[in-house]
Amino acid sequence: MEEEPTKLRERLARYERESRFLLKDSDQRKVIEEVFDTSTLISLQGLMKKGIISEMYGAVRSGKEAKVFYATAPDGSPRAVKIYLTVTAEFRKRYPYISGDPRFAKLPPSSRETIYLWVRKEFKNMQLASSKGIRVPKPYSFSKNIIVMEFIGNPPEPAPTFAETEVDLEDFKWVVGTLKRLYREARLVHADLSEYNIFKFGGERVLFDFGSAVVTSHPNAENFLRRDVENMVRFFRRRGVVNLSADDIMKEVVG
Ligand SMILES: Nc1ncnc2c1ncn2[C@@H]1O[C@H](COP(=O)(O)OP(=O)(O)O)[C@@H](O)[C@H]1O
Ligand SMILES: [Mg+2]
């Protein structure tokens, strides 16, 4: 028998309460209402029915526009479930990363549709990068405003990002090499690159948060790439690792 949305909602609310990442009470209630609208619950149920996930646990991070949950697959292996809030009104600011990408020629009419498209784009970007051997969380599935991917970290604790850990010259070289492969092989520009969107965990670095990424034929691709490179150069300079200019790295990446 299928679980009723209300029952599922109660279960999810319980996972939230039991999670060790609780927000303040009133905030928490608000977030639950925002995230678990009926349509999101139905999508989650669909993913459970398809055997993509079997249990949902607490939220590991709550951003303004998306919440990431720790979940498990039927075989018990950990998954990260990124759920975009469908009530976020600020989706227009995502248009510059959608229009101009030939894969998404027509702009969606509503903010909900924009989110669905954003999720599809994020998932496709991850698949593409992954298919070229670039280390990203393995993308498993998506539905409406939800993406299911490999969990990076010791569940329920996500791996530290570059911002939260020590970095060295090898990390910088990895970033340049990864940008190069992303650009030349996957033909993608991340477009939201920062020390907050790269994990460092168990001897590995993992690039994530691919929603903004655009194809290199996007009219603004080079500007986005330059901004990505500047962010990285600034970060590694601040950490005293390298002292290079963005120009040097742009040449290296684009060729
Ligand atoms: N695959 C993952 N495994 C573990 N934690 C994750 C994963 N993806 C995201 N997270 C956690 O959620 C946070 C936000 O994810 P991110 O994709 O960067 O969303 P946003 O668009 O809100 O920046 C990350 O900083 C990390 O703590
Ligand atoms: Mg992010």
User: Which whole number is the average pLDDT over 177-189?
Assistant: 98
* Residue from 31, 53, 57, 60 whose mutation best tests the ligand 1 pocket (most atoms within 8 A of CB): 60
Residue 74 has pLDDT above 60, yes or no: yes
Q: Do residue 152 and residue 169 come from a single domain?
A: no
153 and 167 housed in the same domain? no
Distances in whole angstroms, Cα of residue 25 to Cα of each of 17, 22, 29, 32, 103: 9, 8, 6, 11, 42
Atom of ligand 1 nearest to the CA of 66: 22
Same domain, 152 and 168: no
pLDDT digits (tens, 9 = 90+) for 116-127: 999 999 999 999
Tell which atom from ligand 1 comes closest to the C-alpha of 206.
1
Last residue of a domain, one of 137, 157, 177: 157
Q: How far apart are CA 40 and CA 85, in angstroms?
A: 9
Q: Are residues 100 and 207 in the same domain?
A: no
- For ligand 2, the distance from its centroid to the CA atom of residue 209, given in whole angstroms, is 5
Question: Is 209 marked active-site?
Answer: yes
pLDDT band at 23 (very low <50, low <70, confident <90, very high): very low
Say which of 25, 37, 171, 192 is annotated catalytic.
Answer: 192
Q: How much is the average pLDDT of 46-69?
A: 89
Q: To test ligand 1's pocket by mutation, which of 68, 148, 200 has the most ligand atoms within 8 angstroms of CB?
A: 68
Q: Based on the domain organization, do 149 and 215 belong to the same domain?
A: no
Q: Are residues 150 and 168 in the same domain?
A: no
Q: In this structure, which residues have their CB less than 5 angstroms from ion ligand 2?
A: 197, 209
Domains contained in the chain, number: 2
Q: Whose CA is nearest to atom 17 of ligand 1?
A: 209
Please identify, among 124, 157, 190, the residue that sits at the C-terminal boundary of a domain. Answer: 157
User: Which residues sit with their C-beta closer than 6 Å to ligand 1?
Assistant: 60-61, 63, 66, 68, 80, 82, 137, 149-153, 158, 161, 197, 208-209
pTM of the model: 0.89
Q: Please check whether residues 44 and 130 belong to one and the same domain.
A: yes
Q: Are residues 249 and 142 in the same domain?
A: no
- How do residues 241-252 score in pLDDT, each as one tens digit? 999 999 999 999
Q: Whose CA is nearest to atom 8 of ligand 1?
A: 80
Question: 186 and 148, same structural domain?
Answer: no
Q: What is the CATH classification number for the domain harbouring 250?
A: 1.10.510.10
Q: Answer whether residue 13 shows pLDDT above 80.
A: no
Residue 225 banded pLDDT, cuts 50, 70, 90: very high
Residue 27, pLDDT above cutoff 60? no
Place 30 in a pLDDT band, splitting at 50, 70 and 90.
low
pLDDT, one tens digit per residue, over 184-206 is 999 999 999 999 999 999 999 99
* Catalytic-residue membership of 192: yes
Whole-number Å distance between alpha carbons of 189 and 207: 12
Domain extent, residue 185, equals 159-254
Same domain, 50 and 93: yes
Residue that terminates a domain, selected from 104, 129, 157: 157
